[in-house]
Structure formats: structure tokens, C-alpha cells
Amino acid sequence: MRKKYMLGVAAVAAAAALALTGCSTGRTDAGSDSGSGSSIPKGSLIGVALPAKTSQNWVLAGDDFKKSIAKAGFKSIIQYADATSPVPSQQSEINSMITKGAKAIIIGAADGSQLGTQVAAAKKAGAVVIAWDRNILNTKNVDYYVAFNNFHVGELQGQALLDGLKKEKGDGPYNIEVFAGSPDDANAKVFFDGAMSVLQPKIDDGTLKVVSGQTTFQKAVTQGWLAQNAQKRMTDLITANYAKGTKLDGVLSPNDTLARAILQATKSAGLPNPVVTGQDSETDSIPLIMNGTQYSTIYKDTQKEAQAAIDLVSTLSKGEKPKTVDDKNNNNGVFNVPAIELTPVLVTKENAVEAYKNNATLEKLAKAGE
């Protein structure tokens, strides 16, 4: 179904696929009251609060926002959460953006469940609150969510793992392990659920075996999205389940940073290279994809994602109503946050050069490894 959707074979199939994954086909949504444009005059201050730099996409985001905001005719204040105390530092950064009079506050949450007080204050001060890449949970005080379709990211990862196993490990059944991202990031569960929607039926029919038996999100999580935590868990899983010759065919990894950590663990243990998925198209992973060490990644163009948030601000500034989707995967515990969803792209060695043709840095890396 997903394949049909991606190839755009038929409008009917696309609609059915969207319905199945819980996405609406897009509708106009007014957002909440603060969405009325007059509240963001041209030239006003836009605050951007980003999490700690746990992956390259966040590093890139700062500059991308700076450029997009200036180009759209607004002023910007862009801040990152502190790696050692991400939650309190981000909370105080948002408070200071409110004090400085930011008319829109764009937030990539360090912890999506810890910002209720800050977004309530932002709304009270008349700012538009936009959750960016990561949703903000358990509050009505978020106007919009701008992100890539996270559930679809997971579906692509799950399908890539299956395809990679078939291509590289012959006929199944296959032994795998599954990893998830950080539980304080609302995306992590959605990525995992998307992937498991593809993998679970294959676990049930015996094509896949999770040898450790650790198939739940709670068991699979990687606190803080930290490489060392994934590497440690993989090492422990190997010691407990693969030390006596049981083969490990593949690993579901939710992003590239963790994929490299997982591959480091299998290499140190002297295991043959498993099929490993990823996400983010990090410059350290592309050479590994091109030489066959990491099987796949996902391309989520950070510049496009930042631009989508700024386009939204511009639309509101003009007093127009943005076009949003109502997707249950963007439910924040209170409501489905009206969203602008971008489409992620699966990348393997086969399509890397083509997939990165709008990005000189990534295209060069892909071409170098051809």
C-alpha cells in the first residue's frame, strides 16, 4: 500500500494509504485564536528554541532558521538547550524569548512533556506557538506542528530493514534486534510504532525473530538519543544472545547516530555486519551507506523543514489561514495539533545520488562512494 502511495500509481490507492496510516488528505484549519495574522507584524521578533545538538539535523537547523527568518523579513533569536541540563535551560530560553516580545516561538522540544508552563505563558503574551520537528505534549497551548511525517519515517525504516535483509542475508527467517529513540522525545514512539507496523506482522509469521525478546518501546529506548547508550545496549544484547554463534542479521535503528553506535558494538564483538537502518542523512553515515556498512537512512531536508515553519509564520503574518493536516499521530495528549507535514525520503546506496541532488554536500559524499 505504501509503495503504491509513494509511486503515485493511483489517486485511489493514495487516498486509501493515507486513510490507513491515519493521515487526512489535508484541510484548512484555522488553528487557535492567536493564528490571526495581525499578531505577527513584519519585522517582529521570532524565537527559535532548539534542543541540544544530539544529531546533525539540530546543528544545521540553527543556521537554516537564521537565513529563512531574515529572508522573510523578521528578526530572530535562536537558542539551543544546554546538553547537560536541557530541560531547565530550554525553559528559561523560552521565558526570555517571551520577555523580549517574540511574536512567534518555534520550539524543537528538549522534552516535549516539560514545556506546559512556558507555552501557556507564551500564549498569554500573545505569541503563536509552533512545535517544530518534535511535538509538545499535554497542553492545548500549541498552535501548530511542523514536521516530517514521523509515522511514515518509521514505516520506511521497517520496510528498509525487511528489504535489506532479503537483499543481503538471503532467505529468512532472520534474527533481529530493535532500537528506539529517547522516551522524552515525542517522535521516538511514533517512529517506533511506524516501524513496528511493518515488522510486527513479520515477527508474528516467523519471518523475523527478535532473539532477545525485547520488542516493546520501553525495552528498546535509548535515553537522550545518546550513542553511548545504544552502543552499551547492543553490546549487552550481544553478550546475552549472540555470543555463542547465533547470527544477528539486522537491527532497527531509529537514526544515524545510533546506527553507527550499533555498528561499532557489532564490529567490536567481531560479528558479521548486520543490516542496520538509520535516519537524518548525517555526513558521517553516508560513506558507510555507500560502502555497504549501514544499509539505509532517511533524508529529512532540514532547510525545507525550517522554511516550512517560516512560511507558516509569513502566512499568519499576512492574516491568512494556513493549510494544515489533522493526523492522529500528532495528537499531543489533548488534541491533534494542526500540522504541516513534509514527506521523508528513504535513502540507500541505490538512490543516494538522486535523493541528494538538491544538497551539494550530501550529493558529493554519495558520488564519492559510488
Among positions 5, 225, 299, 356, the unique one binding ligand BGC when judged by CB under 6 A: 225
* DSSP code for 130: E
Nearest-angstrom CA–CA distance, 187 and 288? 25
**CB of 265 vs ligand BGC, minimal distance in Å:** 19
**CB of 144 vs ligand BGC, minimal distance in Å:** 17
Q: Report CA 164 to chain centroid distance, whole Å.
A: 21
Instruction: Return the closest-CA partner of residue 26 out of 317, 257, 338, 319.
Output: 338
Q: Which is nearer to ligand BGC, 54 or 348 (CB)?
A: 54
Burial of residue 226, with CB atoms counted within 10 A of its CB: 0-12 exposed, 13-18 middle, 19 or more buried: middle
**CB of 101 vs ligand BGC, minimal distance in Å:** 28
Q: Does 305 bind ligand BGC (CB under 6 A)?
A: no
Site string for ligand BGC, 123-152 (x = CB under 6 A): ----------xx------------------
Q: How many CA atoms lie within 13 A of 337 on its CB side?
A: 28
Q: Does 187 bind ligand BGC (CB under 6 A)?
A: yes
Binding window for ligand BGC (CB under 6 A); candidates: 23-31, 55-63, 325-333, 349-357: 55-63
Q: Does 185 bind ligand BGC (CB under 6 A)?
A: yes
Q: Does 64 bind ligand BGC (CB under 6 A)?
A: no
The number of beta carbons lying within 10 Å of the beta carbon of residue 274 is: 28
Nearest-angstrom CA–CA distance, 133 and 118? 18
Nearest-angstrom CA–CA distance, 72 and 96? 23
**CB of 174 vs ligand BGC, minimal distance in Å:** 25
Within residues 268-287, the interface with ligand BGC by CB under 6 A covers 279-280
Q: Which is nearer to ligand BGC, 133 or 143 (CB)?
A: 133
Q: Which is nearer to ligand BGC, 123 or 189 (CB)?
A: 189
Q: Which is nearer to ligand BGC, 134 or 202 (CB)?
A: 134
Q: Report CA 338 to chain centroid distance, whole Å.
A: 17
Beta strand pairing call for 296-299 and 345-348: antiparallel
Among positions 34, 57, 76, 307, the unique one binding ligand BGC when judged by CB under 6 A: 57
The number of beta carbons lying within 10 Å of the beta carbon of residue 320 is: 12
Nearest-angstrom CA–CA distance, 187 and 246? 32
Binding window for ligand BGC (CB under 6 A); candidates: 5-13, 16-24, 50-58, 318-326: 50-58
Binding window for ligand BGC (CB under 6 A); candidates: 181-189, 193-201, 228-236, 340-348: 181-189
Q: Which is nearer to ligand BGC, 114 or 279 (CB)?
A: 279
* E strands present in the chain: 27-28, 45-50, 75-80, 104-107, 128-132, 144-148, 174-178, 208-210, 250-252, 275-276, 296-299, 323-324, 339-342, 345-348
Binding window for ligand BGC (CB under 6 A); candidates: 30-38, 39-47, 51-59, 122-130: 51-59
Among positions 21, 34, 54, 68, the unique one binding ligand BGC when judged by CB under 6 A: 54
Q: Which three cell numbers stand for residue 95?
A: 521565558
Nearest-angstrom CA–CA distance, 63 and 303? 9
Among positions 21, 29, 34, 55, the unique one binding ligand BGC when judged by CB under 6 A: 55
Binding residues (CB under 6 A) for ligand BGC: these are: 54-55, 57-58, 133-134, 181, 185, 187, 225, 255, 279-280
